[in-house]
Structure 1
Amino acid sequence: MPEQELASPASAKPPAGENLLEVSGLQKHFPIRQGIVFQRQIGAVHAVDGIDFSVRAGESLGLVGESGCGKSTTGRLITRLLEPTAGSIVFDGEDITHKPVAKMREARRHLQMIFQDPYSSLNPRHTVGTIIETPMKLNGINPPQGHKRRAQELLETVGLNPEHYNRYPNEFSGGQRQRIGIARALALRPKLIVADEPVSALDVSIQAQVVNLLQDLQREFGIAFVFIAHDLAVVRHFSERVAVMYLGKIVEVADRETLYTRPRHPYTHALLSAVPEADPDSTERRERIRLAGDVPSPIDPPSGCRFRTRCWKAQDKCATDEPPLVRLRANPEGHLTACHFPEEPTVEARGEDIVLDPALAALEKSPTDRSS
């Protein structure tokens, strides 16, 4: 029998603390049109389809899931780089969902983004100094020490030489370019940074350095993060809470340790079972869950529970009723699950076996190296 639901979808908020970001019922549907002269809409891609979550001031929330689940679209909706189809985005107490683009500048002073590709996110015709100074100039911020000195201080903060101020992006490695992007995001002293797969394009050893750098900056400046990634090991290293997405929906939210050791949603359990282990001999101790079939098309998502077409626990109810994101009877406060037939709370994902890549694990125990 399914567990009794004890909370409503509105409870998808942390139990305590001040919410800096609140997302409710957020949707983004990309229309599919047919015709050349006279176009008509024949469908829509349901990239994000009604999600709720919040982020406290100074907190790091990880957003994970397979490619195409809507993670990056969610990040662009939060920063209003994409216009939402429905729902609301409240940032720092202000509803910015439909705020005119011309009036978004003030909000963007406190809401910045680090992009996935450090090669395409920096203008190759601008020097590093210009890239970092431009946000300050556009927002009318005049540091007492001047724009140049402030840009050089930011370069030093992210582990680069201040003398690189006059260089161009093509003179830097991928990891160094990503540090430049981080410096640009820090230029306006933001309250929240949306990091969209910030290390996926980097070598493993550089990934560890950049993740540790972000952690240092979070502690130093009290910045909140929405950390988007598909690598669960990196997310565990960085995020305090984790939200799992599948086909445009959030299916589970919990604090890091709870989600990695006691997942309730079958999809979360399957994701965790695929994380590499440090000890090859431990493979026999943990069952590898292989999901059947492919991810359904977001153009025509399944009825009811969207995961049911690949779920080994699916029953008739899953095809007719969409499970809400709620706290179940055995879940601790703040642990939300969207499943009619959740995993037993005694089933653990063997958190001790879920580890970082060896390079990440080594740096997790050592001071941050900012030299690369």
Structure 2
Amino acid sequence: MTETTGEPRGEALLELSGLKKHFPVMGGVVFKRQVGKVHAVDGIDLTVHGGETLGLVGESGCGKSTAGRLAARLLEPTEGSIRYAGREIGHAGRKELKPIRSEIQMIFQDPYSSLNPRHTVGTIVGGPMEINGIDPPGGRTKRVQELLEIVGLNPEHYNRFPHEFSGGQRQRIGVARALALNPRLIIADEPVSALDVSIQAQVVNLLQQLQRDMGIAFLFIAHDLAIVRHFSQRVAVMYLGKIVEIADRASLYERPRHPYTHALLSAVPEVLEDEVPRERIRLAGDVPSPINPPTGCHFRTRCWKAQEKCAVEEPPLVRLEGNAAGHLTACHFPEQPTVHGEDVVLDPALQP
């Protein structure tokens, strides 16, 4: 994979502020009643600028996909604000959302279930144009064939069905569908997790090329930090519904300040011969239930640096001393900052 270079960011395109999504938990046999709620997204602040890629990473079940669906307004938020191009859309109705639906598109995780097996490729890719009443110059058929060519497929595949394609080819069909309405923002929800490693590289390189050629902004949701490092200019780390750290790629990967980020990065395999081996941090226990998240810092039950303050006071997401501009961390007892190229230095007394 080619590595995306950092470029000047445009104006804020998507802004999430205090965003929450709680799903009710129902109980009872005869008379159903709410007995609790799942804190899937529990108050996050994120900004995606025009033309950039913001990577959103974390363990499975941390709320990444829910956050992406909220941003695309496929889900109604419980609380908080969603602003797109300066316009509040968090609680907008169907009529208000219709003009911007074409500008925000999604690429879904599973290329085998996200394509209707009864429809041809031409119907799948051309569907968004038909729904929105768009008749491009030369007709929809010509435009669909152009899109297939853009994503590296044969335009003659127009009349084929999804089962006739491999997983990587199906995901390219999904990319073509997302491009059909010339979006400004694409939310890619684990777009390569179901693919072989070699196919992952092809799809990521395709997305990078599209971004360079068309200036599309991406919210790139993944749990593979190696892929996120190649594709994202900035990275946000999510844990149990909350953002615990966000920074530009170089700052976060070379100088992580949150213990959870440090643990995640320690698990990334070294693939370069000159790369300094990192100490592997093994987190104790399982991720707590989002139905009953811990008080204070959500990560404290698995953190080797947790103290009494962590149980009673939630750490704010702020810039810490020694952080680069735009590097925000939510931790009462952060990791020590390090110079470029060195491993993170931990207090020996606090080693797990």
Q: TM-score range by the shorter chain?
A: over 0.9
Whole-Å separation in 2 of the counterparts to 1:102 and 1:34: 35
The yes-or-no answer on 1:344 pairing with 2:336 is yes
The letter of the residue matching 1:167 is: R
Choose from 194, 208, 214 the match for 1:215: 208
Indicate how the Cα distance of structure 1 residues 90 and 281 shifts in structure 2: closer, same or farther if over 3 A, else same.
Answer: closer
Whole-Å separation in 1 of the counterparts to 2:13 and 2:29: 44
The yes-or-no answer on 1:67 pairing with 2:53 is no
1:273/1:349 contact within 8 Å kept? no
The yes-or-no answer on 1:162 pairing with 2:158 is no
Indicate how the Cα distance of structure 1 residues 98 and 349 shifts in structure 2: closer, same or farther if over 3 A, else same.
Answer: farther
Choose from 255, 260, 264 the match for 1:262: 255
**2:5 alignment counterpart:** none
1:263/1:349 contact within 8 Å kept? no
The yes-or-no answer on 1:141 pairing with 2:134 is yes
Q: Report the alpha carbon displacement of residue 282 of structure 1 after superposing the two structures with TM.
A: 6.3
Whole-Å separation in 2 of the counterparts to 1:337 and 1:235: 19
Whole-Å separation in 2 of the counterparts to 1:117 and 1:158: 17
Segment drifting more, 230-239 vs 138-147: 138-147
Whole-Å separation in 1 of the counterparts to 2:283 and 2:161: 45
1:269/1:349 contact within 8 Å kept? no
Choose from 33, 36, 57 the match for 1:40: 33
Whole-Å separation in 1 of the counterparts to 2:275 and 2:150: 40
**1:333 alignment counterpart:** 325
**2:294 alignment counterpart:** 302
Note the alpha carbon deviations across 1:4-50, whole angstroms, 9 max, x for none: xxxxxxxxxxx974100000000011100112442211101101000
**1:194 alignment counterpart:** 187
Segment drifting more, 150-159 vs 72-81: 72-81
Whole-Å separation in 2 of the counterparts to 1:183 and 1:280: 37
Matches within 5 A, 1:43-54: 43-54=36-47
Whole-Å separation in 2 of the counterparts to 1:230 and 1:296: 18
Whole-Å separation in 2 of the counterparts to 1:141 and 1:319: 54
Q: 2:80 aligns to what SS in structure 1? A: strand
1:64/1:71 contact within 8 Å kept? yes
**1:273 alignment counterpart:** 266
Q: Report the alpha carbon displacement of residue 256 of structure 1 after superposing the two structures with TM.
A: 0.3
Choose from 17, 29, 37 the match for 2:22: 29
Q: Report the alpha carbon displacement of residue 198 of structure 1 after superposing the two structures with TM.
A: 0.2
Matches within 5 A, 1:165-176: 165-176=158-169
Whole-Å separation in 2 of the counterparts to 1:45 and 1:121: 25
Choose from 122, 125, 135 the match for 1:129: 122
Whole-Å separation in 1 of the counterparts to 2:181 and 2:341: 40
**2:349 alignment counterpart:** none
Whole-Å separation in 2 of the counterparts to 1:231 and 1:68: 14
**1:182 alignment counterpart:** 175
Q: Structure 1 regions of 5+ residues with no counterpart?
A: 1-14, 352-372
Indicate how the Cα distance of structure 1 residues 16 and 211 shifts in structure 2: closer, same or farther if over 3 A, else same.
Answer: closer
Note the alpha carbon deviations across 1:210-260, whole angstroms, 9 max, x for none: 000000000110000000000000000000000000000000000001000
The yes-or-no answer on 1:100 pairing with 2:90 is no
User: Alignment RMSD, CA only?
Assistant: 1.6
Q: Report the alpha carbon displacement of residue 279 of structure 1 after superposing the two structures with TM.
A: 5.3
1:252/1:338 contact within 8 Å kept? yes
Segment drifting more, 274-283 vs 203-212: 274-283
1:178/1:198 contact within 8 Å kept? yes
Q: Which has the higher contact order (CA 8 A, sep 6+)?
A: 1
Whole-Å separation in 2 of the counterparts to 1:347 and 1:337: 18
Note the alpha carbon deviations across 1:53-100, whole angstroms, 9 max, x for none: 101001100000000000001011111111111101001121111111
Note the alpha carbon deviations across 1:300-347, whole angstroms, 9 max, x for none: 000000101111111110000000101112111100000011101117
**1:230 alignment counterpart:** 223
Whole-Å separation in 1 of the counterparts to 2:258 and 2:341: 12
Q: 2:319 aligns to what SS in structure 1? A: coil
Whole-Å separation in 2 of the counterparts to 1:122 and 1:18: 33
Segment drifting more, 172-181 vs 104-113: 104-113
The yes-or-no answer on 1:57 pairing with 2:50 is yes
The yes-or-no answer on 1:249 pairing with 2:230 is no
Q: How many residues align?
A: 336
Whole-Å separation in 2 of the counterparts to 1:90 and 1:279: 41
Whole-Å separation in 2 of the counterparts to 1:331 and 1:350: 15
Percent identity reads: 74
Note the alpha carbon deviations across 1:120-151, whole angstroms, 9 max, x for none: 00011111001111101111211011000000
Q: Structure 2 regions of 5+ residues with no counterpart?
A: 1-7, 344-352
